Amino acid sequence: MIRITGLYKEYPNGVQALCDVNLEIGNGEFVVLLGPSGAGKSTLLRCINGLVRPTAGQVEVNGVQVGAENGSNLRKLRRQIGMIFQQFNLVKRLRVLDNVLCGRLAYTPLWSSCFRFFSRRDVELAKSCLERVGLIDKAYQRADQLSGGQQQRVGIARALVQQPAVLLADEPLASLDPRSSRTVMETLREINCQDHITVIVSLHDVDLAMEFARRVVGIREGSVIMDKPVSQVTRKDLEYVYDG
């Protein structure tokens, strides 16, 4: 469960990116964040994974408070939260399987990851994650030989190898064509339904949001201005989110 209370973020340049955000997201939910560019969606996702430190308020993930700095807390948290990115952020020259194995490093102390060899168990787990996203046959290809949609699915496998409770995705479709976008959303839906991983994803594409989300959160000017099950979202709600 993710509990966000009274969250504010003001960047050093004075931009108020988040203003009193309160949200509770239960285990296994599939939430899409919608809102115009600059609304604060990325900032909110980054506050959840601890990449951005809020000015005020709290984020708690399964009882662990984000930002309560201490090494082992942070690792516990990082392990629970998988991230995928707009630009995939794969290591281009590494093989697909090695990219997925990189996910195993996310919660290892740095000193040990420097010297660490992957165990047979790590490799088996990485392969099973590649199977989950339908790319086991690409395991030994270089990451940059894959299409954009395939690379994004490698990104999902790299997150899955952490065995996270939550998967955060910031505009994961932004550099994909419509067909790959759909495949990526289908992969997200599958891991949400089958592995019961909570998925929180920010999207530009309203149609895909309405098709795949179970809950839609609308954000504008740093505030949550809509929060509904997808079945109750009307065209008017969407206009309000985008045009005020």
The residues that touch ligand ADP, with contacts defined as CB under 6 A, are 11, 13, 15, 17, 35, 37-43, 171
**Is the CB of 94 or the CB of 206 nearer to ligand ADP?**
206
Least spacing, CB of residue 47 vs ligand ADP, in Å: 9
> Please, which residue, 37 or 231, has the CB nearer to ligand ADP?
37
> Whose Cβ is closer to ligand ADP: residue 37's or residue 70's?
37
What is the radius of gyration, based on Cα positions, of the chain?
18
Measured at the alpha carbon of residue 191, what is the angle toward residues 185 and 193, in degrees to the nearest 5? 100
The DSSP 8-state label assigned to residue 95 in this structure reads: B
Our CB check for ligand ADP shows the closer of 40 and 50 to be: 40
- Shortest spacing between CB 200 and ligand ADP, in angstroms: 13
Q: Closest CB to ligand ADP among 41 and 138?
A: 41
φ and ψ at residue 109, rounded to 5 degrees: -60, 145
Closest approach of ligand ADP to the CB of residue 38, in Å? 4
Q: Which residue in 172, 177, 179 sits closest to 154, CA to CA?
A: 172
Q: Tell me the CA distances in angstroms from 26 to 6, 31, 221, one per residue in order.
A: 18, 10, 25
DSSP 8-state secondary structure symbol assigned to residue 214:
S
At 220, the amino acid letter reads: R
Least gap, CB of 154 to ligand ADP (angstroms): 20
CB of 123 to ligand ADP, least distance (A): 33
**CB 28, CB 196: distance < 8 Å:** yes
On whether the CB atoms of residues 62 and 137 are closer than 8 A, the answer is no
